[in-house]
Amino acid sequence: MTYDSDQQAAIDARANVVVRAGAGAGKTSVLVGRYVRLVVKDRIPVDQILTLTFTRKAAAEMHERIYRALAEHAALGETADNEFVREQLERFDSAAVSTLDSFCGSVARSGCTAFGVAPTFTVDEAKLDEFCDDLALRFLLNRARGKSGEGSAGGASSISSLVRLNRFGPLWHDGFARLAKDHFLVSRELDLAGTMAAQRLYLLGEVGRYASEL
């Protein structure tokens, strides 16, 4: 893989880096290059590198591309660096390459009592589908009515054209709802008051437990 000067600077940077670029500009390639540099040059084990993205599809692609890049480097020859890379390939199943919600779920499970949630909680796929359907429907209707920052005539005309070409049902369920689920991080508004109440109960319980032990 050949990088331009800006991409190489992002790969080699030793401090935090924010890469801003349009779709197809090579952001994932830069991330893969940075990951390989951390393993090859800095000899950081793969289970110590956290790599997050928004969707499962993107996480799977990132996982495969990082593994392939490391494998290509390991095949270059017998050196101490390549031996370390081969060791990391053998344990790549422990690499932390996942979605944001999966990582947050693991954090929540590890501290479930402190967060006031059950350790057995799961992501309800049916509820997620329902939420994405509702989100897509509201988006389409609002656009058709000229809301959300687009003129009424332009919004209605654009949506009407899409419906004529695709029919409303497929456009809604297979188009925008699927787009929301596969390519965006969707969530409801945070119940901060409920979370704080659960944590308060936990802390009060801990204070009571420690007081009884004194």
Q: Does 150 have pLDDT greater than 50?
A: no
Domain count, the chain: 2
* Strands, E assignment, the chain: 50-53, 96-99
Give the residue with greater pLDDT, 183 vs 128: 128
* Mean pLDDT of all residues belonging to the chain: 81
Q: Is 122 left (phi over 0), alpha (psi -120 to 50) or beta?
A: beta
Identify whether 210 is part of a domain.
yes
Identify whether 115 is part of a domain.
no
Domain final residue, candidates 81, 107, 133: 107
Strand, helix or coil at 9? helix
The boundaries of the domain holding residue 149 are: 121-214
Whether residues 12 and 96 fall in one domain:
yes
- The reported pTM is 0.61
Q: Does 151 have pLDDT greater than 50?
A: no
Rounded Cα distance between 102 and 121, Å, is: 12
Identify whether 190 is part of a domain.
yes
User: What would you report as the CA-atom Rg of the chain, rounded to the nearest whole angstrom?
Assistant: 23
Rounded Cα distance between 137 and 126, Å, is: 17
Identify whether 112 is part of a domain.
no
Identify whether 114 is part of a domain.
no
Query: Does residue 70 contact residue 91 with C-beta atoms inside 8 Å?
Result: no
Domain final residue, candidates 67, 83, 107: 107
Whether residues 195 and 160 fall in one domain:
yes
Whether residues 98 and 126 fall in one domain:
no
Whether residues 32 and 125 fall in one domain:
no
Whether residues 23 and 93 fall in one domain:
yes
In this structure, what token pair is assigned to residue 5?
Answer: 């000067």
Neighbours of 184 (CB within 10 A): 12
Query: Does residue 62 contact residue 97 with C-beta atoms inside 8 Å?
Result: yes
**So what's the pLDDT on residue 130?**
82
CA neighbor of 97 nearest in space, from 134, 147, 49: 49
Across the range 40-52, mean pLDDT stands at 95
